[in-house]
Structure 1
């Protein structure tokens, strides 16, 4: 089979039903954009909660301009309290090194943050992990001189997960509905292309054309629709990452989203998944259309 013939026939089929083709591409693109956004939110939540690994129950954030006396008073309380099993001091340089390790695949975020932008902190592991005990213990530091904020693991994790689970649910639901619509559009587009060329197909069969010779242009038509929709979705996901997720991660006003970002590696995984789903939907739609409506 000549490549020129294959491309010519596929292009003719797409152009013959251009309105349905555009609708199918946009349906695939929008549905996969919603799915990709939900997946990126999931990765962002995972990254945002990494700082709580190791049994840390709360973090005492110090003001960058806290005096040595204020810092020493907090340190002494943490070291002498029988209710505290372990505390680790993370200065600005150590926090920056950790930040670089966590977001090594996000150079634009690393370029925007300096060591002095990250406040020093004490990461505290109480002897008793009971939520009420941890809350009472952490609240003792909230009004201490030199303390910027006290953040609790349970509150932060639950709030982050609750917020983005709700958003992800609606994104996934919308994505599923639109994927079904996209599948039906691809199916209908190919069926119309087959019906529009029914006489030509009969002639080709009479002169000895093989089944694949007849079917392949229609299957390639569906594949191109899926790939174009997936490409649109990757672009949409990239725009959402830069306009929404990265803005959340770098916002000083929304502490809940601190660390909420995704690495380049995670984004490439999402993009690959979107392309695979787009191809899968296209193959499914075109395969059903060809097998049921193209009698060869």
Structure 2
């Protein structure tokens, strides 16, 4: 027997109507789990963007005036080189600062267009020997008073706490999401098993007239696939809401984390990844249910 699309769609719709309550429960579980997983991935990306400049031991950043004279900049560099309290530093010129700015705000071209490299200050990203907050603040204050220095920003304990919070929170959310995905797969499995049981006489007749296992299996597997896809599709706008929440944190809560943003292309990528994962979970769950039923 050959499969026809209208037959698959008709059988899938019939199964949905028979098990509407379980189907809704499955879709809701898939949606919640994929939203949590997508939010955890976005949160990790946002923290990475916000803390990128604070990697590798950088504890404070000295921003110089955009029009600083070569003599004043050389004097700041000399102090950094000669200070026994400084382990090292990384110099970011205007072009490098602009390239970093473009990378972070690549999804806001209207914002990038009004900024030129000349408007962004060069900076020294400093790695002190002693990373205690008191010592870092004392060093930062000394450079803040130097001629030609526009601003000095310290990471202090804030960035470290956020990184620790991000790691712990992401791990916990991912574990919860995985547990919920397993629960969704079990729900899909049980939904398909109930649909198979309610149609067991029809299936017996189909096998007697020569229907192959795949002819019987496909409509039920398609049902699981659709359940996973619907759950993933609903998760996409919820993931967008999560990204908007990150923007609120960025603009209102922590000035140090002004780069706490996620590119919209990354949000779309995560959303479609979650949708694809939902489809996989639905297909696997329904496939296991059908295979076990047909083997008995």
**TM-score normalised to structure 1 length:** 0.80
Mapping of 1:20-59 within 5 angstroms?
Answer: 20-52=22-54, 56-59=58-61
What does residue range 181-220 of structure 1 map to in structure 2 within 5 Å?
181-220=183-222
- Number of the residue aligned with 1:247: 248
Q: Check the 8 A contact 1:58/1:138 in 2, yes or no.
A: yes
Question: Cα–Cα, structure 1 residues 73 and 111, in superposed 2: closer, same or farther, change >3 Å?
Answer: closer
Check the 8 A contact 1:57/1:129 in 2, yes or no.
no
Residue 140 of structure 2 contacts residue 152 of structure 2 at CA under 8 Å; is this kept in 1?
no
Aligned residue number for residue 16 of structure 1: 18
- Asked if structure 2 preserves the Cα contact closer than 8 Å seen for 1:160 and 1:256, the reply is no
Shift of 1:52: 3.4
For 1:282, the equivalent position in structure 2 comes to: 282
- Shift in Å at residue 54 of structure 1? 7.4
Counterpart-to-counterpart distance in 2, 1:52 and 1:290 = 52
Contact 2:51 2:257 (C-alpha < 8 Å) held by counterparts: no
Partner SS, residue 123 of structure 1? strand
Query: Could you state the TM-score of these two structures normalised by the residue count of structure 2?
Result: 0.80
Question: Is 1:259 matched up with 2:262?
Answer: no
CA deviations on 1:43-93 (whole Å, 9 max, x unpaired) are 1122122223576441135799xx989xx97984554451165574766x9
1: CA distance, partners of 2:161 / 2:64: 22
Task: Map 1:169-188 onto structure 2 (within 5 A).
Answer: 169-188=171-190
1:37 positional shift: 0.5
1:150 to 149, 153, 158: 153
User: Which ranges of structure 1 fall in alignment gaps of 5 or more residues?
Assistant: none
123 and 159 in structure 1: CA distance in 2 versus 1, 3 angstrom threshold: farther
1:284 Cα shift?
Answer: 1.9
Q: Is residue 7 of structure 2 the alignment partner of residue 5 of structure 1?
A: yes
- C-alpha root-mean-square deviation of aligned residues, in Å? 3.4
Could you list the runs of 5+ residues in structure 2 that have no partner in the other structure?
A: none
Specify the alignment match of 1:168 in structure 2. 170
